Structure 1
Amino acid sequence: MKYILIISFLTVFHLYNAQIYPLNTFPDDVPVESYMKDLDNELTPFVGIWKTNYNGNTIILTIKKEEHKAFKIPQSSYFYYQDALVINYTIQNSNGIMLQNNNNVQHEYDKNAIVSMYVNNSIVNLYYIGTNCGVGWGTINLKKMNNTQISWSYYPNDTVLTTKNCPGNQDTTIYLPETKDLIFTKQ
């Protein structure tokens, strides 16, 4: 009898945690531990390596789709799960000197992290955490133009820097292209 109760409890617990919702479901509208899945493959067309030149710099985006990525619910100890795009990037000047890259980013709250939040009318909305001291945090919109091109629009927010929230002499340059409708080509 005890064995049957344990199996029943585990089955109910698994079913509760395994609730799947469409990708654009708002996390506040679903139970904790829910999974927002890319059921319509809206993220897949953006996956790949993309390249552009902007103001003399070469920018390369490596876009990956992470399935069942855990996101912490703010001001709680709970999580929800979502299929998401994660962008790693490199920015080099015309002399080939690396200005910035985020290849060591591990989590969506790490400096220079770029992670998708939702898709709306074939436009992926991503959140950029910012560089040192959070400078440049904001949103990035990617729109698929065709099979070989995407459009990039970056909307940085303002940050007030003080010696308390940004100690030392940190590089607070925003190297990402601050522009609308910049075309990246698939490599």
Structure 2
Amino acid sequence: MEIIQSKIILALTLIINLMSCKAQTLPLNTPFLNIPNGAHIKDTNNELAPYIGIYRAIFNGFETTLFITKEENRLEKRSTKQFYRDALVVKYTIKNSAGVTLQSTQDNNLNIASIFSISTEPTENTINFIFRGTNCNVGFGEIKLKKINSTQISWEYKPNDIVTTASKCPPTLDTKIYLPETRDLIFTKQ
């Protein structure tokens, strides 16, 4: 009887301890290997807020509008762990010179063509993003936004191998990359 009571007390103690545990909160630039399962990577220094807003730029006759918002507790699923991250999410609209929308993710609630922040470089005033690409992941790559002043950001986009990705896509899907493939493009806050 005494052994059963000891086991019950031990089990209750473990349950209470587990219930009182909170996920570990870590700063934005915590290296991936140092992030425990279930942790929260938090914007503790408010590094993301200056980028929030609507920005526009013209490049090669196309108008690109970025809609940048902050998402707290964004679930990140990796092969070895899951954790939560405060991140910037970018949705966009691209129009031609006649004002016709060529591509828009503004009303897209899916992760298709999503752009989200993965790290910051505070000394450079830069935020690094991953772009998942559009149809068949065409355009998958890295985007960097650098804060120039309170109303302007600089854009750099480097897509990965477009030809290989597009060749695996059905011919009926649009595999054109509409995002500006350039660096030092200035976007102005609206």
TM over 0.5, yes or no? yes
RMSD: 2.1
- 1:36 alignment partner AA: I
TM-score (norm 2): 0.86
Q: Does 1:29 align with 2:34?
A: yes
Q: Separation in 2 of the partners of 1:161 and 1:73?
A: 22
Structure 2: segments with no counterpart, 5+ residues = none
- Is 1:27–1:80's contact at 8 Å kept on the other side of the alignment? no
Letter in 2 for 1:12: L
Which residue does the alignment assign to 1:80? 83
Which sections of structure 1, spanning at least 5 residues, go unmatched?
Answer: none
- State the match for 1:119 in structure 2: 120
> Please, what TM-score do these two structures have when normalized by structure 1?
0.88
1:27 to partner: Cα distance: 2.7
Runs (4+) off by over 6 Å = 1-4
What SS does the corresponding residue of 1:9 show, helix, strand or coil? helix
- 1:6 deviates by 4.8
1:12 to 8, 11, 18: 18
- 1:127-146, aligned counterparts within 5 Å? 127-146=130-149
Is 2:103 the counterpart of 1:97?
no
Residue 43 (str. 1) matches residue 43 (str. 2): no
Task: Go from structure 1 to structure 2 and tell me whether the alpha carbon gap of 1:94 and 1:23 turns closer, same or farther (over 3 Å shift).
Answer: same
Give the deviation of 1:170 after TM superposition.
Answer: 1.4
The C-alpha deviation readout for 1:103-161, integer Å capped at 9, x for no partner, is 24335xx3211011000132100000111111111000000000000000001110414
